[in-house]
Amino acid sequence: MARNENLEGKVVWITGASSGLGEALAKEFALQGAQVVLSARRFEELEKVRVSLLHPDQHISICADITDETQVRHAYEQVLEQKGRIDWLINNAGLSQRALIADTTMQTERAIMEVDYFSQVFLTKTVLPTFIQQKSGHIAFVSSVAGLLGTQYRASYSAAKAAIHMWANSLRAEMAEQGVGVSVIFPGFIKTNVSFNALNGAGKPQGYQDEAIENGLEADEFAEIVVRSLQRGEEYIVVGGAKEKLGVLVSRLSPKTLYKMIRKMKVK
């Protein structure tokens, strides 16, 4: 992949684009000259984001529930119909968790895996033939530092985010000769509504902000770092504060030390 890839005119499809990391990424891609395709379930929210972007008429809102395969196929057809091609796919839509394993129902376990793993796999498989035909494209998956470490209250979320990371690694190996790049992004604590919407054990939104998220990195700063890294062709992108970066480093050097640290931490 070209270093410092020029995004001028490129069609970038972002899921979960109605708020949070998706909205911040959309704004940054638009600033870099991309034509942004915004996807989420709520059309009105997508339109609010679209009109806030630089050159709003270049961008489109495509409403879809990414867990519904029929809606995903229809969204894909609409993107190709309206834009003619897709250059980058940013698998950002996700669902977090704040519950102990003992308190988490199997229904909630499956709901998190459906959004954070299976839906991203299906959307990527849907778009892949276009990239292979073009012999170009870039696919990015928003995983999480939680997918590298595994902490209390996030077991299902950590598992799903780890799963998409490993799937992406396999995809990268398979696509190496096809001109298709694959990157995985690992956000730490970023200021968004993720903890408001995180599921408790019964599958209901938590409804309040975590202290760690409240004190996290600003979403626009996250987006700048991510887009710059993707333009350079980076494949493994950790974005967060010193604590999260230290945790990732320790996880590689001494997993035993890391889990001693995690047991002592207040992570909820």
Structure tokens at 182: 């694959």
Question: In the structure, what pLDDT confidence band is assigned to residue 106 with cuts at 50, 70 and 90?
Answer: very high
Number of independent structural domains in the chain: 1
Q: What is the pLDDT of residues 19-71, one digit of tens each?
A: 999 999 999 999 999 999 999 999 999 999 999 999 999 999 999 999 999 99
Q: Which of 76, 117, 153, 157 is catalytic?
A: 157
Could you list the residue range(s) of the whole structural domain that residue 55 is in?
A: 11-242
Q: How far apart are CA 186 and CA 190, in angstroms?
A: 11
- Known catalytic residue at 259: no
Q: What is the pLDDT of residue 268?
A: 65
Task: Judge whether 180 lies within some domain.
Answer: yes
On average, the pLDDT of the chain sits at: 93
The mean per-residue pLDDT over the stretch 97-106 comes to 96
- Confidence bin at 266 (pLDDT 50/70/90): low
Please tell me the predicted confidence (pLDDT) of residue 1.
43
Report if residue 5 sits inside a domain.
no
Q: Dump the DSSP string for 170-206.
A: HHHHHHTTTTEEEEEEEE-SBSSSHHHH-B-TTS-B-
Assigned domain for 224 exists: yes
Residue 39: inside a domain: yes
Take residue 106 and report the two structure tokens written for it.
Answer: 């199997």
Tell me whether residue 250 is in a domain: no
Q: Are residues 35 and 233 in contact, defined by beta-carbon separation less than 8 angstroms?
A: no
| Number of neighbours of residue 121 by Cβ within 10 angstroms | 16
Residue 2's pLDDT is what? 46
pLDDT at position 211 is 74
pLDDT in tens, 177-231: 999 999 999 999 898 888 788 899 999 998 887 776 777 899 999 999 999 999 9
Give the pLDDT of residue 56: 98
Strand 60-63 with 11-15, pairing: unpaired
Predicted confidence at residue 253, as pLDDT, reads: 81
**Cα distance between residue 113 and residue 158, in whole Å:** 10
Return the pLDDT at 190: 92
Give percent of the chain above pLDDT 90. 78
Q: Which value, to the nearest 10 degrees, does the dihedral of the CA atoms of residues 27, 29, 30, 34 take?
A: -160
Kindly state whether residue 136 falls inside one of the protein's structural domains.
Answer: yes
223 falls within a domain:
yes
* Least confident residue range of 77-86, 117-126, 188-197, 253-262: 253-262
Q: What is the pLDDT of residue 11?
A: 98
Average pLDDT over residues 77-102: 97
| Residue 102 lies inside a defined structural domain of this protein | yes
Q: What is the pLDDT of residue 9?
A: 97
**Under 8 Å between Cβ of 7 and 32:** yes
CATH number for the domain harbouring residue 237: 3.40.50.720
